[in-house]
Amino acid sequence: MERAAENPQPPAQEGLSPQDHEAEEITVAIMAASRLLVAISARALAAIAPSLTLPQLRTLVVVDSCGPVKAAAVATTLGVNPSTAIRMIERLEGEGLIDRKPNPANRREVIVRLTDDGQELVRRVLAHRRAEVAGLVDRLPADQRAGLVPALRAITAAADELAVDPLDDVRRVGGLIADPLSGAPSHLPARP
């Protein structure tokens, strides 16, 4: 009993090697940081557009990042069924944040892009989120800041080895296109 009081560990950690224990501590810390970042995103969204949900914000950010994009590619990038993406797009269109039109090159496809209001909302929410994260960073002592940057870069690099860039997914399914809804020239490279 004394051992448990001196070194309390959840039952799942009993018998772990020092390396496994360290990996578990890192995993728990990353999960806590992840919850914090989701909460920051939720607060930013609630402050700017309380009627929207985090999945809706994610949809707006994907469309903002991709530019005019096929609705099917939005679904692929979000990792949801096309019908789920279409419902989300319809709701955001109803809010005046997304413009949805048939693709003039293929009327069976739908192209979505952010409206000016949608772009402004994304800009404001991301700026609010960035300001809150910057406030957290400002409260960190300099020595902790210095150690945090290499650790976060290492985690990001490890994730990049496992993940595919969402824009690559959009390009793969042929979803990233020039904006057929405006007269502006395309800034996108030709598709192979």
pLDDT digits (tens, 9 = 90+) for 18-68: 888 899 999 999 999 999 999 999 999 999 999 999 999 999 999 998 889
Domain count, the chain: 1
pLDDT reading at 2 higher than 50 = no
Residue 109 is assigned to a structural domain of this protein: yes
Residue with tokens 């309390």: 8
Domain CATH code at residue 45: 1.10.10.10
Amino acid identity for residue 9 in this structure: Q
As a whole number, mean pLDDT of residues 164-182 equals 52
Q: Does the residue 163 lie in any domain?
A: no
User: pTM, whole model, 2 decimals?
Assistant: 0.72
- What integer pLDDT is reported at residue 112 of this predicted model? 94
Residue at 4 is within a domain: no
CA 39, CA 170: separation in Å to the nearest integer?
28
Contacts of 113 (CB under 8 A, 6+ apart): 63, 67, 68, 69, 98, 99, 179, 181
User: Would 101 be classed as within a structural domain?
Assistant: yes
151 in a domain, yes or no? no
Owning domain of residue 109: 32-141
- The residue type found at 137 is V
In this structure, is the dihedral angle defined by the CA atoms of residues 101, 106, 109 and 114, taken in order, positive or negative?
A: negative
Considering the domain boundaries, does residue 3 fall inside one?
Answer: no
Asked if the structure places residue 95 within a domain, the reply is: yes
176 assigned to some structural domain = no
The DSSP letter of residue 135 is H
